[in-house]
């Protein structure tokens, strides 16, 4: 079955669950035990530089009701309460299996310069065959931007995605599904992270009429 045409201006990725070489391999018969959800995992670390002191950067990050919605675009964002967001990542699919994952994220108030983001339930929403466990933290530290005091924002993410595939996917070798899913998850996280980091830096420095530091 051909993949649907995906909308433009969204974070999109075709999930390569098989490549032509793998398609030539003999497929194993369906084992009922293999119909359990797959868990795809990725641990990610990154950093960004901000051309202002820690207090100024912290004040900006505290007001996430503004920058998070602006910088997450083109991903769709809807508020959940005071600190939460319903985030639609984009459409992903291959071989007739398409999913448009949504995730609820809560941006917790900072604790001594540490910001934590965790999964939160989306009201009145049941995910179609997947669950996401998202735990991230950002840490602010002083650094030098030339001869000025700046801020380094280090952040790390521990992400687990559980997917209950349609039965025809389970005809593929388990190792192929696992390795490919982990790889695609890594690619998606890396791309979204780069986009979000760039937009946050541009948004922060643009609001304060500051020059973006060079990495």
Q: Residues 133, 97, 5, 14: is their CA dihedral positive or negative?
A: positive
> What is the residue range of 195's domain?
36-207
Structure tokens at 199: 């937009």
> Is residue 4 in some structural domain?
no
Query: What is the distance, to the nearest Å, from the Cα of residue 158 to the centroid of all Cα atoms in its chain?
Result: 10
Q: Is residue 86 part of a domain?
A: yes
**7, 92, 97 from 100: Cα distances, Å:** 11, 6, 10
Which residue is associated with the tokens 């398609």?
A: 23
Using one digit for the tens of pLDDT, what is the confidence trace for 113-166?
899 999 999 999 988 888 899 999 999 999 987 778 899 999 999 999 898 888
User: pLDDT for 12-49, tens place per residue?
Assistant: 443 433 333 333 332 333 344 447 888 999 999 999 99
Q: 178 lies in a domain?
A: yes
pLDDT tens figures, 77-107: 999 999 999 998 877 655 566 777 889 999 9
- Measured CA to CA in angstroms, residue 44 lies from 137, 157, 186, 188 at distances of 11, 5, 8, 11
Q: What is the mean pLDDT of residues 59-73?
A: 93
Residue 22 lies in a domain: no
Provide the 10 A C-beta neighbour count for residue 66.
11
Contacts of 8 (CB under 8 A, 6+ apart): none
Q: Is residue 127 part of a domain?
A: yes
Q: Strand 13-14 and strand 92-94: pairing?
A: parallel
Domain count, the chain: 1
Supply the CATH number for residue 83's domain: 3.30.530.20
How high is the pLDDT of residue 149?
87
């Amino acid at each position: 079955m051909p993949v649907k045409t995906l909308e433009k201006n969204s974070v999109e990725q075709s999930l390569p669950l098989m490549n032509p070489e793998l398609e030539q391999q003999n497929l194993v018969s369906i084992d009922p035990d293999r119909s359990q959800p797959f868990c795809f995992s990725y641990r990610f670390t990154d950093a960004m530089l901000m051309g202002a002191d820690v207090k100024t950067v912290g004040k900006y990050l505290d007001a996430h009701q503004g920058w998070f919605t602006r910088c997450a675009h083109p991903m769709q964002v809807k508020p959940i309460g005071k600190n939460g967001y319903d985030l639609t990542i984009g459409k992903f699919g291959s071989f007739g299996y398409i999913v448009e994952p949504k995730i609820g994220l809560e941006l917790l108030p900072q604790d001594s310069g540490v910001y934590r983001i965790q999964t939160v339930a989306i009201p009145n929403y049941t995910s179609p065959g997947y669950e996401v466990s998202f735990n991230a933290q950002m840490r602010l530290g002083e650094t030098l931007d030339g001869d000025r005091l700046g801020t380094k924002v280090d952040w790390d993410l521990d992400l687990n995605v559980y997917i209950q595939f349609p039965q025809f996917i389970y005809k593929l070798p388990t190792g192929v599904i696992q390795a490919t899913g982990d790889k695609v998850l890594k690619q998606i996280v890396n791309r979204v992270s780069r986009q979000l980091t760039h937009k946050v830096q541009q948004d922060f420095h643009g609001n304060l009429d500051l020059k973006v530091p060079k990495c």
